[in-house]
Structure 1
Amino acid sequence: MGRRLAAVDAQTYWMSAKIPSDQFLLYSFAGPVADVESALARIRDRARGCAELRLRVRDGNPLTYPQWVPADVTPNQFVMHAAGSSWADCLAIVAGLLSSDQLDPRIMAWRIHIFPAVENVPGAGLGTVAVVQVAHALGDGVRSSALAAWLFGRREIVSNVPASERFPGLRLPWRGYAAARAHRGLVQDTSAGSIPPQADSRPALRSNARPEGLRSIRTVIMRRSKMPGPTVTIGALAAASEALAAHLREFGDDPSLLGAEVPMARTGERRAHNHFGNVGVGLYPDLPFHERAARIAEDLEQRRRRAAHPAMVASGRASAAVPASLLRYGVKKFDMTRRSPTVTGNTVVSSVNRGPADLLFGTSPVVLTAGFPGLSPMMGVTHGVHGIGDTIAVSVHAAESTIGDIDSYAERLAAALTAQHA
């Protein structure tokens, strides 16, 4: 029996045909693996033991939502790359996969790329790199990280997402009315000052140019105790502010109103594979580091408070009841060529704590993990902040048209991250 995709997951699936959105979760393990086939067999067995990793999409009726249906784990979900590459070579291959080799969830919703015997792996020297590619419809950053951790031996079971309600369209009139009434309350609360106002839009900058030319990724590896700021996320945002502002000034941009788009987990029970929303925060590049970090923290807290308002919950419930045909029509009409002078953020900063360093590939322990948020027609530079154990990877994914020399930018970012401990 199939399980209907939630509206947000179906929209994510349909939009992936226009804008690539697969997630690439990179894990590096210390040392080469003596018996790769045995290690892969164990991963395959663990995948078969998790119902959420045995799903694919069935989408045959244009008037209804797609369904999650059970499927077996197949050999083509394990891709072996040539041995003997360097860390830089590995990142270059992953950068190419990010834009050119997307999954069709009707065939498979995830797969693993294995890079054996990679040289110059940070923290390992010679190591093994495994990149878990996940269709975004299957999970957001938090859920995909949990699924990957299960594959590599973590004992925490990833629970099933509850089945979507049947015939949700019948509830749309009432839910639409409830959402409108709740929105009036939000407007009143905002006017009274008890709820923060909606985040301001930002002028589009070069970092929002359409991605063209070579796409590259870089990583800056930090110890958790050396990360600046009150939290890892805020420290990374404050450092990215400094580095990106300086880089954009060299291109003639004015980054004084620089801002970031930050994925934030939604409150309440998870009812979809994707349980998050993007919020805009200021980056305040003209302030000293610690003042900047404090303002960023304040912005994030304001976004959390506004997202927790009952109007946001009511709006989400109304959106979940939109008929499939109407949602398909909206996705079909999305125009990727349209440009906007204003944006939610001038870069994306996605931050996920992937837990303790308890993962294994064969007998090799994990030494770091990284992720690379995708680019889009209005976003040419993104940042990933991913931690496992005491190791944090701050990553950059950018197109040549927006960042120019990515190595120069990565050096700026590393300097901004380490300056507070100099």
Structure 2
Amino acid sequence: MTQERLTPIDAQTFWLAGKIPNDTFLLFGFDGGPADVERTLDDLAARARTSPELSVRVDDGGSWGYPTWVPRDVDRSQFVVHDLERPTWAGCLAAVGALVDEQLDAAQIAWRLHVFTDVDGVPGVDRPGTVVVLQVSHALGGGGRTSAHAALMFGRADVHVPEIHPPGTGPISLPVAGFRAARAHRRLTADVEAGVVPAQAELRPLLRTNDRPAGPRSLRTVVRQRSELAGATVTVATLSAVSAALAARLRALGDDPSALGAEVPMTKPPPRLAYNHFGNVGVGLYPNLTAHDRITRIAADLAARRLRAAHPAMRAADLAFAATPARLLRWGMGAFDPDVRPAAVTGNTVVSSVNCGAADFSFGGAPVRMATAFAGLSPMMGLTHVIAGVGGTVTIGVHAAESALGGPDGMDAYVAGLEAALSAG
């Protein structure tokens, strides 16, 4: 991929990072640790060098063209071993939370690996364990894609990173793609009116979770076995639990959560046009329904969003965006004001999913026991969740600002409610 142009959506993600931090943080917990950490890191660096996508940085020379991926040798500056003042799971999460404020400059380095050794209380580990965090620029993709890069470094034998197939561009690409997108949109409108395709999801009223994040930010995790979430997919079961816990917390703070909804990143149908090949869809959370009915409605909403995403109009719109001239997109990103506040939102919280696959990798021989991730906050989002699975273990990573959940004790109260809702089924 050396000297290749960033696709428009990946370039937009790179430029957006300068206004809204968007690095991905993937966290892995290992049972024990290697006898020689430095040698283990040498081994990880050697494996990283076998991946073209881990051996690059962004070159954005300030011209009006798109940035390009250029070679960058993997070196030991990308591997940092941290000394924890509190070598506990809570202390480790606090340290990871501090890293969120230290965003990468992908023009210098596109990823970094953080290592915490001898950590007590790692979920699923009965002795001091090792926690490793892959921090990666979102220009290389979200957690669903970059988890494969992590598995490669940790020694998974057969790693599949989906290839991308950017469309060709030329002088008339934009008008041709724009014409096709307009024609496909007319078909979409007709299909919606005929009841063949679902309408666009309704926007949600603003709640305190959509206020600009204020106060300290914190990370928490909730761990379950997949077998404990029977009766629904992991994503649907988690969305239902988030509904119950968040609605209860908001009611206690005086908000009306009756129209509560979530913003859910959803992978787009293949072929993949860019590293960031997903869209954010709105899903109702139906907190006033019984658990059974709520799960049914959430599953139906997700199915409706997938059906709409599969319509040819969505592909045509993506191809039109992929034909956007760099000069135009640079201007648009320069004019983007993250402080502008809309009257309604796609969701009142974010719930995304990362499947890390089998528990078939290790850190210097210490087997993986759990994985999670943390999504960043934004001016319109003070509470995010990432559902991550490795082997039979599912971990929900929660990231919140104090303002979103009502004060210093808000996060603990919310997470207690989330654990209770998951246990109740």
- TM-score of the two chains, using structure 1 as the length reference: 0.97
Task: State how far apart, in whole Å, the 2-side matches of 1:184 and 1:26 are.
Answer: 44
Query: 3-state DSSP class of the match of 1:233?
Result: helix
Aligned to 1:198: 200
Q: How big is the shift at 1:165?
A: 5.0
Kindly indicate whether the alpha-carbon contact (under 8 Å) linking 1:23 and 1:136 is maintained by their aligned counterparts in 2: yes
Q: How big is the shift at 1:32?
A: 2.9
1:21 counterpart = 2:26: no
1:282 counterpart = 2:284: yes
Kindly indicate whether the alpha-carbon contact (under 8 Å) linking 1:202 and 1:344 is maintained by their aligned counterparts in 2: yes
Q: Structure 2 counterpart of 1:114, which letter?
A: V
Task: State how far apart, in whole Å, the 1-side matches of 2:144 and 2:254 are.
Answer: 37
Task: State how far apart, in whole Å, the 1-side matches of 2:54 and 2:279 are.
Answer: 24
Q: How big is the shift at 1:28?
A: 0.4
Task: State how far apart, in whole Å, the 1-side matches of 2:17 and 2:181 are.
Answer: 28
Task: State how far apart, in whole Å, the 2-side matches of 1:25 and 1:204 are.
Answer: 29
Aligned to 1:366: 368
From 407, 417, 420, give the equivalent of 1:415: 420
Task: State how far apart, in whole Å, the 2-side matches of 1:264 and 1:81 are.
Answer: 34
Aligned to 2:79: 78
**Are residues 63 and 170 of structure 1, via their aligned partners in 2, closer, same or farther at CA, if it must alter by over 3 Å?**
farther
Q: How big is the shift at 1:158?
A: 4.2
**Are residues 346 and 355 of structure 1, via their aligned partners in 2, closer, same or farther at CA, if it must alter by over 3 Å?**
same
From 387, 406, 411, give the equivalent of 1:406: 411
Kindly indicate whether the alpha-carbon contact (under 8 Å) linking 1:33 and 1:116 is maintained by their aligned counterparts in 2: no
Kindly indicate whether the alpha-carbon contact (under 8 Å) linking 2:65 and 2:326 is maintained by their aligned counterparts in 1: yes
Q: How big is the shift at 1:38?
A: 1.4
Aligned to 1:323: 325
1:178 counterpart = 2:183: no
Q: How big is the shift at 1:62?
A: 2.9
Q: Which range moves more in the overlay, 232-241 or 75-84? A: 75-84
Task: State how far apart, in whole Å, the 1-side matches of 2:369 and 2:293 are.
Answer: 33
Task: State how far apart, in whole Å, the 2-side matches of 1:162 and 1:90 are.
Answer: 35
Q: How big is the shift at 1:120?
A: 1.0
1:129 counterpart = 2:131: yes
The equivalences for 1:108-147 within 5 A come to 108-125=109-126, 126-147=128-149
Task: State how far apart, in whole Å, the 1-side matches of 2:208 and 2:171 are.
Answer: 42
Q: How big is the shift at 1:212?
A: 1.0
Q: How big is the shift at 1:50?
A: 1.0
Q: Structure 2 counterpart of 1:197, which letter?
A: A
Task: State how far apart, in whole Å, the 1-side matches of 2:63 and 2:282 are.
Answer: 34
Task: State how far apart, in whole Å, the 1-side matches of 2:166 and 2:347 are.
Answer: 32
The equivalences for 1:292-371 within 5 A come to 292-371=294-373
1:225 counterpart = 2:227: yes
Percent same amino acid at aligned positions? Answer: 53
1:388 counterpart = 2:393: no
Kindly indicate whether the alpha-carbon contact (under 8 Å) linking 2:33 and 2:365 is maintained by their aligned counterparts in 1: no
From 276, 286, 291, give the equivalent of 2:293: 291
Task: State how far apart, in whole Å, the 1-side matches of 2:203 and 2:161 are.
Answer: 37
Q: Which range moves more in the overlay, 159-168 or 147-156? A: 159-168
Q: How big is the shift at 1:338?
A: 1.2
Q: How big is the shift at 1:271?
A: 2.2
Deviations 1:84-127 (A, max 9, x none): 611001101111211x1001111111110000100111111310
Query: 3-state DSSP class of the match of 2:259?
Result: coil
Query: 3-state DSSP class of the match of 1:212?
Result: coil
Task: State how far apart, in whole Å, the 2-side matches of 1:229 and 1:186 are.
Answer: 34
From 257, 260, 263, give the equivalent of 2:259: 257
Task: State how far apart, in whole Å, the 1-side matches of 2:170 and 2:160 are.
Answer: 26
Task: State how far apart, in whole Å, the 2-side matches of 1:169 and 1:349 are.
Answer: 39
Kindly indicate whether the alpha-carbon contact (under 8 Å) linking 2:33 and 2:363 is maintained by their aligned counterparts in 1: no
Aligned to 1:211: 213
Kindly indicate whether the alpha-carbon contact (under 8 Å) linking 2:20 and 2:378 is maintained by their aligned counterparts in 1: yes
Kindly indicate whether the alpha-carbon contact (under 8 Å) linking 2:180 and 2:316 is maintained by their aligned counterparts in 1: yes
Kindly indicate whether the alpha-carbon contact (under 8 Å) linking 1:169 and 1:322 is maintained by their aligned counterparts in 2: no
Q: How big is the shift at 1:373?
A: 1.1
Q: Structure 1 counterpart of 2:194, which letter?
A: A
Task: State how far apart, in whole Å, the 2-side matches of 1:132 and 1:37 are.
Answer: 17
Q: Structure 2 counterpart of 1:10, which letter?
A: A
- TM-score of the two chains, using structure 2 as the length reference: 0.96
Q: How big is the shift at 1:55?
A: 1.2
Q: Which range moves more in the overlay, 75-84 or 85-94? A: 75-84
| Superposed CA RMSD | 1.3
Q: Structure 2 counterpart of 1:68, which letter?
A: W
Task: State how far apart, in whole Å, the 2-side matches of 1:161 and 1:168 are.
Answer: 22
Task: State how far apart, in whole Å, the 2-side matches of 1:315 and 1:164 are.
Answer: 14
Query: 3-state DSSP class of the match of 2:380?
Result: coil
**Are residues 275 and 162 of structure 1, via their aligned partners in 2, closer, same or farther at CA, if it must alter by over 3 Å?**
closer
Query: 3-state DSSP class of the match of 1:120?
Result: coil
Deviations 1:277-314 (A, max 9, x none): 11000000011111101100000000000000000000
Query: 3-state DSSP class of the match of 1:121?
Result: coil
Deviations 1:343-383 (A, max 9, x none): 00000000111101111000100000011111100000011
Q: How big is the shift at 1:341?
A: 2.2
Kindly indicate whether the alpha-carbon contact (under 8 Å) linking 1:229 and 1:290 is maintained by their aligned counterparts in 2: no
Kindly indicate whether the alpha-carbon contact (under 8 Å) linking 2:110 and 2:137 is maintained by their aligned counterparts in 1: yes
Q: Which range moves more in the overlay, 39-48 or 79-88? A: 79-88
Q: How many residues align?
A: 419
Task: State how far apart, in whole Å, the 1-side matches of 2:285 and 2:211 are.
Answer: 19
Q: Where has structure 1 moved over 6 Å in runs of 4 or more?
A: none
**Are residues 210 and 59 of structure 1, via their aligned partners in 2, closer, same or farther at CA, if it must alter by over 3 Å?**
same
Q: Which range moves more in the overlay, 366-375 or 157-166? A: 157-166
Q: Which range moves more in the overlay, 161-170 or 315-324? A: 161-170
Show structure 1 runs of 5+ residues with no match: none
**Are residues 253 and 150 of structure 1, via their aligned partners in 2, closer, same or farther at CA, if it must alter by over 3 Å?**
same
Q: How big is the shift at 1:170?
A: 2.9
Aligned to 1:153: 155
Q: Which range moves more in the overlay, 56-65 or 253-262? A: 56-65
Q: Structure 1 counterpart of 2:37, which letter?
A: V
